[in-house]
Amino acid sequence: MAEAFIEARDLRKTYHVGKIEVQALRGISFSVQKGEFVSVVGPSGSGKSTLFYLLGGLTRADSGSVVLDGDDFATLSDAERTRKRKRKIGFVFQKFNLLPTLDARSNILIAQEILGNGHRDPAHFDRITGLLGLTKRLGHRPAELSGGEQQRVALARALINKPAIVLADEPTGNLDSKNSDVVLRMLRQSNQELGQTVLMITHNPEAARYGDRIIHMRDGEIVRPEDDPQWVAH
């Protein structure tokens, strides 16, 4: 078997809320091959978002490790992890995180400015924004866009630099079925046509089925599909 592109090794993370100890992850281990589309599904409180932040190098585990394209995040400095994220990962968050003073076009292109990528690919920009139905909305600021349009701008921003990995945390959580379908189809298309590795966190079994493979979580652990009541119910 080929070496894993993303590998989680016995990840453990505990939060303290006052005197209460919350074990968000209880020894999570799995691997993702290059070019896979993997969905992580589970109810609220199952540890999915904590896993997302660890895989993206946005926070550190209490123990265990994340290896991304051969680099162990646990051994990297904060500056090195930041460089790794910029070069390798495109993030899609449930909260759109768009800059309110910039129009849609600038909110997308800012990802290239942050990366310091002097090479622009207008054809790639036009293709992504066209597929996402944003062509006529690029001059509008976030406040002038619907929630679905804002999420599509956020997805375009994540894809503009052609990252090797796309991490999406509940990308359809605030969307209606029509906009959800647009976002999910775009993730699938980027995975298939550009060979991007996609790992999507979701509570929605229907969205999860867009992936090649599904990992089920509950109470900070990976469980079998038949042990996931939400999945069985669908």
Going from the N-terminus, what domains does the chain have, and what CATH number goes with each?
Answer: 34-58+77-233 (3.40.50.300)
Distance in Å from the first CA to the final CA of the chain = 33
Cβ–Cβ under 8 Å, residues 31 and 4: yes
pLDDT in tens, 69-78: 888 988 888 8
pLDDT at 224: 79
Report the alpha-carbon distance of residue 74 to residue 29 in Å, rounded: 15
The per-residue pLDDT for range 91-117, each reduced to its tens digit, is: 998 888 999 999 999 999 998 888 775
Of 98, 118, 117, which is closest to residue 108 (Cα–Cα)? Answer: 98
Res 89 pLDDT > 60: yes
156-192: per-residue pLDDT in tens? 999 999 999 999 999 998 888 998 999 999 999 999 9
